[in-house]
Homo-oligomer: A and B are copies of this chain.
Amino acid sequence: MTTDSWINESLYPNWGQRFLVKRELARVQSDFQDIVIFESTSHGRVMVLDGVIQITEGDEFVYQEMLTHVPLLAHGAAKNVLIIGAGDGGVLRRVLQHNTVERAVMVEIDGEVIRLSKEFLPNIAGNAWTDPRADVIVGDGIDYVKRAPDASFDAIIVDSTDPIGVGEVLFTDEFYQNCARILTPRGLIVNQCGVPAMQADELRDTSLRRRKFFPHVTAYVAAVPTYVGGFMTLGWAGKDPSLTALPADTIRARAEATGILGTTHYWTPEIHAGAFNLPPYIAKHLPA
């Protein structure tokens, strides 16, 4: 086996994961980033953006379930949901599983990610692309939240790359300020905040930034196999702190009513409730 058969993730300069490649399926330089999709021998198909693993067929359920079901069930009656990024369609599919949702707007800046995901990763989104409640926009999320009406969304889910390259603007003051404005009174925003064992700055800096515009800022954890480095954190910002302190029984009842219970492979009501209990090595990076 030559080393040519391996793809090394380049996220960190001194540590990371590598995949044995069975077959490269696509390699495209879009207007925004370098996109590679390959068939691995360990995790099914894998999408890589600018050298960083974004999604694998083998473990996408962990991230998608936790990024979607936690905010929607914590809210309990989300009708209008805004998704920023997530061009593979996996979050959109999970959002549309909730029968409370009347409209899911997805704004992805890179149309090539959507096109290639439809062609090479069709199972990630399933039938979500053609759901009548879905409104898929190829465009700039920053612009979208700037122009959206006040109090027009119950939940905003940001599934972006790390705050480098194309995803950087999704971690700015201007973005969070507009998000706060377009959310309903019980509304909330979640976004991926990296793996604190390696990227503690990401959690600390974005939490401080969200804190300027939201009274309640916290984070919750998920152990995503191919976001290597222990727990990844998902940042949470909202107005109502009770949403992150619900007991598992309440969450279970909501999940049953909304059609989620029994459909998941990582998320459970107990894991949902427990995910806000942060290890001290992570909690210390949140604003007091």
Chain A contacts to B: CB under 8 angstroms: 3, 8, 12-20, 40-43, 58-59, 61-62, 195, 197-198, 221, 223-225, 228-231, 264-268, 270-271, 273-274, 277, 279-281
- Interfacial chain B residues near A265, Cβ < 8 Å: 279-281
- Interfacial chain B residues near A264, Cβ < 8 Å: 280
Distance A270 CA – B264 CA, assembled complex (angstroms): 23
In the A-B complex, the 8 residue pairs with the closest CB atoms: A274-B274, A225-B230, A15-B42, A270-B277, A14-B20, A14-B41, A223-B223, A266-B279
Contact of A17 among B17, B267, B279 (CB under 8 A): B17
Enumerate 8 A-B pairs (CB-CB under 8 Å) in ascending A order. A3-B3, A8-B18, A12-B42, A14-B42, A15-B17, A42-B198, A62-B279, A197-B225
Count identical subunits in the complex.
Answer: 2
- Interfacial chain B residues near A266, Cβ < 8 Å: 279-281
Query: Beyond the given A15-B18, A270-B277, could you list 7 further A-B residue pairs with CB under 8 A, ordered by the A residue number?
Result: A12-B42, A15-B19, A223-B230, A266-B280, A266-B281, A267-B279, A274-B274
Distance A231 CA – B227 CA, assembled complex (angstroms): 12
- Interfacial chain B residues near A231, Cβ < 8 Å: 223
- Interfacial chain B residues near A13, Cβ < 8 Å: 20
Indicate if the CB atoms of A270 and B281 lie closer than 8 Å.
no
- Interfacial chain B residues near A224, Cβ < 8 Å: 230
Query: How far in angstroms is the closest Cβ of chain B from A99?
Result: 21
Distance A41 CA – B264 CA, assembled complex (angstroms): 38
Indicate if the CB atoms of A268 and B274 lie closer than 8 Å.
no
Query: How far in angstroms is the closest Cβ of chain B from A43?
Result: 7
Query: How far in angstroms is the closest Cβ of chain B from A247?
Result: 12
- Interfacial chain B residues near A268, Cβ < 8 Å: 277, 279-280
Indicate if the CB atoms of A18 and B20 lie closer than 8 Å.
no
Distance A17 CA – B197 CA, assembled complex (angstroms): 15
- Interfacial chain B residues near A14, Cβ < 8 Å: 19-20, 40-42
Query: How far in angstroms is the closest Cβ of chain B from A72?
Result: 18
Indicate if the CB atoms of A17 and B19 lie closer than 8 Å.
no
Chain B: CB-nearest residue to A62? B230
Distance A223 CA – B279 CA, assembled complex (angstroms): 10
